[in-house]
Chains A and B, each alone.
Chain A
Amino acid sequence: MSLFPRAAAMLGLTLAATLPAAAQPAWKPTRPVEFIVTSGAGGGTDLFARTVQATITKHELVPTSIVVTNKGAGSGAEGFVYGRGAQGDAHKVIFGTNNAWLLPLVAKVAWKPLDLTPVTAMAFDEFLLWAKQDAPYQSAADLIAAAREEPGRLRMGGSQTRDTDQTLTLLVQKATGARFTYIPYRGGGEVGVQLAGGHIDSNTNNPSESVGGWRGGQVRPLCVFRREPLPPGPRVTETQSWSDIPTCASQGIPVEEFRMPRTVFLPPGVPAAAQAFWADVLRRVSETPEWQDYIQRTSQSAALLTPGQMRALMQTEEAAARELYGAEGWLVN
């Protein structure tokens, strides 16, 4: 008996899935699709792309099979260059972050941000300021004061060089006049453990990168780089949940907001119908319970940008980054 309503629901879902597609101008995949992940296996972008793939497969949103390939070398440059080279091939979908338009500013790479066809950004990952559990700094203000007192003595860890973590460190330094020594590592997980071991004094990890350490009493969040505190949710530790973390602006660090979009692109020169097809598929992915689950588990903020909004986001971020990086002498292009 219990089978029937589920089957009916499934039928409804497939119907809902097929009907709008029929109304679309005709483009749909005719051969296996490749999801290009611009991070290594197990990285944040990898998890993002694989969640999308699993959801699409489960709800049969795409008629052909999908394979996921990791091309994460050079902070993702490998994947973007590969995608750039697949001119006009809408069977290749590129998953990344804002490295799609920030990396070409700071490294000699063979693509320009405007080359790629933007599809959407499906989530924003948040950034927090973390300290070791037994560190003397009770609040973000304490940490900044210490970093101001002896410039360069405190160490800030982050993943990669001239990537989001170091950009945020720069913004914090500019806004507060403090100075940290920035130590680049290979990934957020490693940076979290280095903080737990006391080898660095602070980091700007995403929630999912440090939640284990927070629950285990190794590290604690000082503030979140967001206009509002995170939405209420279940408790993470005995006493606190994500929503109890104050915003950094309220703690005397005037960096209003810093977030990393999880972006999807297509190669250059694909037909507009293909762009619309993928935008539509991803919209439907974002409406599934699996996607909601992923967003909640990784403490990200859901979003769904249109290609136009993507272009706008790229332009504002690139302009701001150009100014910031230019002052640091990071620009290579």
Chain B
Amino acid sequence: MVTRLQLELAFAALVFATGATGLAGALELDWGWASDGPQAGFFPFRVSLILMGAALLVALQAWRGRAALRRVVVVEGEGGGRVLRFGLPILGLVAVAQWLGLYVAMALYLLGSIRLGGRRSWGVALGVALGVPLATFVVFERWFQVPLLKGPLEILLGLG
């Protein structure tokens, strides 16, 4: 269970951190206005400051209204559980794709989330898990000649 107050503060902190990172990057550059106009860091510097300021104000606003915002539940247990069960496999897909390539990762992800997450029959899950990567391969690699991320398997098969 997550309350609106917690989420407001967390996101404001995220924005503040983004702004601070941007500020650090902007300070490596010339952030002034020279005779030929604004320099490379001029806008990054100011945008970063605005982000940090606005994030502080949002956090302040949220804190001032904390009594009310604490009672607003934005993510309740059951729905949040579904989000995690759907979202974490996406992270898995991305992670596996980095070393096994997109096709293998896609097949594993589809098989896992349709069979385990969706509780579909093995037949359906296997069909989709093999069919989608195959169709993707034909459309991207063969028709449009756009190479996707390959892993050891494709290289072994001489496709990568």
Give the shortest distance, in Å, between B67 (CB) and chain A (any CB): 49
Q: Would A32 and B146 count as touching, CB distance under 8 A?
A: no
**Any B CB within 8 A of the CB of A273:** no
How many residue pairs link A and B with beta carbons under 8 A? The number is 16
Contacts of B158 in A (CB 8 A): 30-31
Give the shortest distance, in Å, between B36 (CB) and chain A (any CB): 8
Which interface class (under 10, 10 to 19, 20 to 34, 35 or more) fits B?
A: under 10
Interface string of A52-87 (1 = CB under 8 A from B): 000000000000010111000000000000000000
Q: Would B147 and A32 count as touching, CB distance under 8 A?
A: yes
Q: Would A67 and B147 count as touching, CB distance under 8 A?
A: yes
Assembly CA distance A81 to B7 (angstroms) = 39
Contacts of A209 in B (CB 8 A): none
Assembly CA distance A67 to B158 (angstroms) = 15
Contact residues, B124-160 vs A (CB, 8 A): 145-147, 155, 158-160
Q: Would B146 and A31 count as touching, CB distance under 8 A?
A: no
**Any B CB within 8 A of the CB of A163:** no
Q: Would B160 and A31 count as touching, CB distance under 8 A?
A: yes
Contact residues, A20-43 vs B (CB, 8 A): 30-32, 34
Contacts of A68 in B (CB 8 A): 145
Contacts of A69 in B (CB 8 A): 146-147
Q: Would B155 and A31 count as touching, CB distance under 8 A?
A: yes
- Closest B residue to A64 by beta carbon equals B158
- Closest A residue to B157 by beta carbon equals A31
Give the shortest distance, in Å, between A183 (CB) and chain B (any CB): 10
Q: Would B159 and A31 count as touching, CB distance under 8 A?
A: yes
Residue of A30, A31, A65, A68 ringed by the most chain B CB atoms within 10 A = A31
Interface residues of B (CB under 8 A from A): 145-147, 155, 158-160
Interface contacts beyond A67-B145, A67-B146: sample of 14 additional A-B pairs, CB < 8 Å, sorted by A:
A30-B158, A31-B155, A31-B158, A31-B159, A31-B160, A32-B147, A32-B159, A32-B160, A34-B147, A65-B145, A67-B147, A68-B145, A69-B146, A69-B147
